[in-house]
């Protein structure tokens, strides 16, 4: 993960981070990354781990990563307890997020610091979060708190995290009219020297995504658009009783691949331009 962040910083681009819950979405992410010859992050949330099983989802993702023709990283997204982070690190994850954003500042600092200290034993990368997004990762409502630049800088200094997820108007669930505060992002980027991360990006316009990258966002998470594409792909074919279920799932996988490809092109405009010119 560290190498991907460093590369994104040097090129002024962002690493695409895509949440997966099953084999077909995983295959779609890998296929899109290979098609464009771009790196990507494959993310699993605690809910995805609960659904698939930790050993099962880890084995599935690592098999895909080991066979992929481009660099891919497995990342724990929104780890909400020390225990889930520890379990992921022990099984082999080398990039984890601890989300203590809803905790009081002092508690968020102390819990995140514990995760950072544990991760060092595994030579693992840690993402923290400061500020609260209006809607949680699984859709639950939250009292949004935009990230304060000075608080963000203090949090980074006290915890030693490698990257920082922030709240600047981004919202999980792709709500209509989602908009980010670019001026606030500029202030946070000036105050914080580590890579910045944006969750809840599925509802943002292409222009907002590009503006975010231009002003310091180096990792962008996409989940809702993948779920929507997969659901649409299934709904198109599921009524046809003559189709094998594998054909239905394959069509859904192709729809997800198109979405991943689109986002990778947006996040890596400089790189995709270079590739097309070679």
Q: Could you confirm whether 240 is annotated as catalytic?
A: no
Among the listed residues 77, 99, 148, 223, the single catalytic one is 77
Which residue, among 165, 163, 136, has the nearest Cα to 224 in the 3D structure? 136
Q: Return the number of other C-beta atoms located less than 10 Å from residue 83's C-beta.
A: 10
| Residue written as token pair 């590739």 | 275
**Measured CA distances, 208 to 124, 149, 198 (Å):** 31, 20, 11
The contacts found for 104-107 with CB under 8 angstroms, 24 or more apart, are 105/130, 105/151, 105/155
Tokens of 114: 């514990």
| Residue written as token pair 């969750």 | 199
Is the Cβ–Cβ distance between 133 and 199 less than 8 Å? Answer: yes
> What share of residues in the chain are helix, strand, coil (percent, to 5)?
55, 15, 30
Is the Cβ–Cβ distance between 166 and 152 less than 8 Å? Answer: yes
Which residue, among 230, 186, 228, 179, has the nearest Cα to 200 in the 3D structure? 179
Is the Cβ–Cβ distance between 216 and 185 less than 8 Å? Answer: yes
Question: Phi, psi at residue 134, to the nearest 5°?
Answer: -60, -30
Is the Cβ–Cβ distance between 27 and 256 less than 8 Å? Answer: no
The radius of gyration of the chain's CA atoms, rounded to the nearest angstrom, is: 18
Q: Which residues are designated catalytic?
A: 77
């Amino acid at each position: 993960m560290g190498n991907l962040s460093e590369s994104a910083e040097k090129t002024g681009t962002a690493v695409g981070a895509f949440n997966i819950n099953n084999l077909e979405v995983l295959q779609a992410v890998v296929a899109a990354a290979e098609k464009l010859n771009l790196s990507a992050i494959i993310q699993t949330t605690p809910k995805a781990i609960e659904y698939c099983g930790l050993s099962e989802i880890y084995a599935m993702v690592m098999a895909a990563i080991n066979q992929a023709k481009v660099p891919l990283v497995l990342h724990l997204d929104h780890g909400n307890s020390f225990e889930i982070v520890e379990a992921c690190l022990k099984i082999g994850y080398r990039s984890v997020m601890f989300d203590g954003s809803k905790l009081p500042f002092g508690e968020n600092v102390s819990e995140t610091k514990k995760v950072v200290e544990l991760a060092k034993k595994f030579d693992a990368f840690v993402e923290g979060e400061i500020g609260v997004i209006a809607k949680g990762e699984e859709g639950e409502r939250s009292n949004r708190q935009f990230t304060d630049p000075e608080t963000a800088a203090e949090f980074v200094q006290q915890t030693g995290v490698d990257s920082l997820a922030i709240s600047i108007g981004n919202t999980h669930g792709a709500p209509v009219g989602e908009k980010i505060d670019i001026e606030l992002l500029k202030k946070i980027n000036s105050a914080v020297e580590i890579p910045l991360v944006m969750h809840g990006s599925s509802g943002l316009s292409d222009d907002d995504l590009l503006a975010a990258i231009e002003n310091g966002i180096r990792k962008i998470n996409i989940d809702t658009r993948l779920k929507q594409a997969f659901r649409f792909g299934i709904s198109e074919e599921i009524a046809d009783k003559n189709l094998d279920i594998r054909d239905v799932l394959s069509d859904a996988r192709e729809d997800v691949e198109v979405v991943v490809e689109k986002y990778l092109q947006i996040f890596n405009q400089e790189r995709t331009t270079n590739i097309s010119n070679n």
